[in-house]
A and B are shown apart, each in its own frame.
Chain A
Amino acid sequence: MAIEDPMRARPRPTAGGVTVAVLLTLAAFLFILPFLYMLSTSLKTVGETIIRVNPFPFHPEFWPSVPQWVNYATAWTTANFSLFFRNSIITAALTVAGLMFTSALAAYAFAKIRFAGSRLVFSIFIATLVIPESVYLIPNFILITRLGWYDTLAGLTVPFMASAFSIFLLRQFFAQLPNELLESARMDGAGHPRLLLSVVLPLSAPPLFTVAFLAFVGSWNSLQWPLVATQTMRWRPITVGLATFVTEAGPQNQLRMAGAMISVLPVVLAYFFAQKQFTEAIARSGIKG
């Protein structure tokens, strides 16, 4: 800390202020503790996960005596997390790309074109948001089996390439763009696809980011559908890999925690780099049920 400007000196800490600080520090500690536990367990030996344990990170027994970085290599190769990781990346990337495409088109139509049936179609789309995932599970499983999509990338991605929620978010933003912008381009003879591409999309980076981020996290974190739609290791995502993690050698919690770290890292790292946008994106919607 530099020398404080006497004019802008902080007021003396009050009892209330200290209480607030203590409470918040305690809360932050509770939020972060399980992550520290995951980190420390992922670096222990099998034996240490059982006998060298302590609930408090200040205590040396909370941590391994010698960090076993080899656990990550083992999880990555032997426990197949490299394959799961790659599958999750491909699945999420395809889903996000497809979703952005369909949602941008639909949101533009709802926001900027007057057409017969606009309200009706929009309400039908929105109504699908009430339906719990468990209700989709059985019919969609039968459907992708009939389509020959069982245990394929198509079965994992295509059903999620459109979402009423993404359309709704983008439409809200597109509707705020002034119509004069579009009208002048229209006078020059531009059609709707052209207007969307060269006028609307360049002005919509923040909401597009929001939708992409929410879709990525949703896809990366999903478990129920991939559990149903995959059978072999071919396209099994990291969530299913973690949930069904069993080794021949019995419970290898250090490897499981290393796998958990690998699945947490991309999301949390991305979050650190773009906190502000992420916080706003999350505030706009629930990404978890």
Chain B
Amino acid sequence: MSGEHASINKAPRRVRSLKSRRDTLAAYMLLSPSALIIGVFGIFPLFFTVYVSLFRWRLARGRFTGVGNFISLFGANPLALVAVCAAVGGAVLAVFLFRHRSSQQRARGVFGGILLALSLAGFAAALPALAAQGDKDVFDALRVTVWYCVCTVPVQLVAGLLLALLLSRPLRGRQAFRVISLMPYIAPTVATAAIFELLFSLRPDSFANQVLRLVGISPLQWLQEPKGVFALIFGGAAQTGATGVIPAYWAAWAQGPSLALIAIVFYSWWVFVGYYALIYINGLAAIPRQLYEAAQMDGAGKLRSLFSITLPLLSPTTYFLTLLGVIGTFKAFTQLYVLRNPAVGSAVDPISVSIFFTAFRKGNMGYAAAVSLLLFVIVLGLTVAQQRTTGSRVSYGD
């Protein structure tokens, strides 16, 4: 770039502007094919979704309903939605205060702590109210999505890191192992999900049930079991005594993810652990060896090196994978679509599948567009929040 710049500056002013104008024209010509496609199918749709969401839109555009679809989504009283947003905003502000306080500013820390506690309490109270007056299906789908995210991402991070650490030492057959560990990730999701549909079927002779029998557990319904796992393990205990809007809502959470969803979680582990390991291996390779040698000279053991060198220096990788994983689970569709069994109703339908069915089975596009905007806002919020909170703590090596 600098070379080009120098030669341009030597040219007379008129020639220079002519050249740069011609360059600009050429650049936009080269950009036009991508800009056309990205504009029509990538940017315009976002605004068009907002437009669609304001109508009663079945096969064709119907009556203009304004915020009607959003009222069916969040309920008629906007107070609950405002309260939930305020609680989320408060929590974000509290975390921000924590992160940007210096040692002199103890008041900030105290204030941040109080704000965080208030926000969490407000959230715990306002969300049930919102769910009670809003669309039950959507809020159930959100719960499924959150469970799916919570059950998959942390396990994949830890297992991926462990695999990467095992693979970081010289070993015969390392390349073969890498190839094998990535196969689940590369193979088409529809095909591999179809295999898991057989592995975790409710038949007493299915793979999963035969394995259970080996350890003396009676067969389970797996993909056809809509009951929550905590409810299954502890009996109906989690459900009792749940009266009133707020306890009833959180009691539904307390039942845990459905067993059907857990089977899909196993699938996700199987697919993504190899990929996470690959990314971690790249992260490990970037850590300078001298650091370990220096630590060894100072008498640090292997475990100490792991916690003082490896993990802190891997934090950019962990951050990247967390972001990718959380956003990925909110967007995930194929495996959940293939592995959902009609017998479990909507117990494993995350928000993406719910949108799909609302739009293309029930034909209610206007409403589905409104729900998809909610998903968009959540994914955008997660991206921004994660960048703001984790971003400054991440170590970039130097």
Contact = CB atoms under 8 A, between A and B. Distances in A.
Contacts of A272: 179
Interface in B340-376: 351-352, 355-356, 359-360, 365, 368-369, 372-373, 375-376
Nearest to B165: A20
B376 A131 contact: yes
Interface residues of B, number: 96
A88 B124 CA distance: 48
B328 A55 contact: no
A167 B360 contact: no
A35 B183 contact: yes
Q: How large is the interface on A (under 10, 10 to 19, 20 to 34, 35 or more residues)?
A: 35 or more
Nearest to B162: A23
A179 B327 CA distance: 38
B177 A283 contact: no
B253 interface: no
A185 interface: no
Interface stretch (B39-47, B101-109, B220-228): B39-47
A138 B52 contact: yes
A282 B275 CA distance: 8
Interface string B7-30: 100000000000010011011101
B23 A113 contact: yes
A24 B171 contact: yes
B148 to A, nearest CB: 12
A18 to B, nearest CB: 12
A46 interface: no
Given A279-B182, A289-B328, A138 B1 contact: no
A161 B34 CA distance: 8
Q: Secondary structure of the A side of the interface?
A: helix
Contacts of A217: 186
Contacts of B178: 275, 279
Given A103-B34, A183-B7, A55 B211 contact: yes
A135 B34 contact: no
B333 A224 contact: yes
A58 interface: no
A76 B182 CA distance: 27
Given A132-B376, A138-B368, A220-B188, A55 B20 contact: no
A167 B167 CA distance: 33
Interface string A114-131: 111110010011001011
Contact of A158 (B37, B45, B379): B37
Nearest to A28: B180
Contacts of B49: 135, 138-139
Interface string A251-289: 001001101110110011001100100110011001111
A161 B166 CA distance: 40
A89 interface: no
A105 B34 contact: yes
A132 B352 contact: yes
Contact of B181 (A28, A41, A164, A286): A28
A256 B4 contact: no
Contact of B334 (A28, A53, A224): A224
A127 to B, nearest CB: 8
B198 interface: yes
Contact of B191 (A41, A116, A263, A289): A263
A9 interface: no
A203 interface: no
B93 interface: no
A271 B186 contact: yes
A253 B198 contact: yes
A283 B20 CA distance: 37
Q: Which are the 3 A-B pairs with shortest beta-carbon distances? A: A139-B45, A162-B37, A260-B191
5 contacts: A105-B33, A115-B24, A267-B188, A275-B178, A289-B331
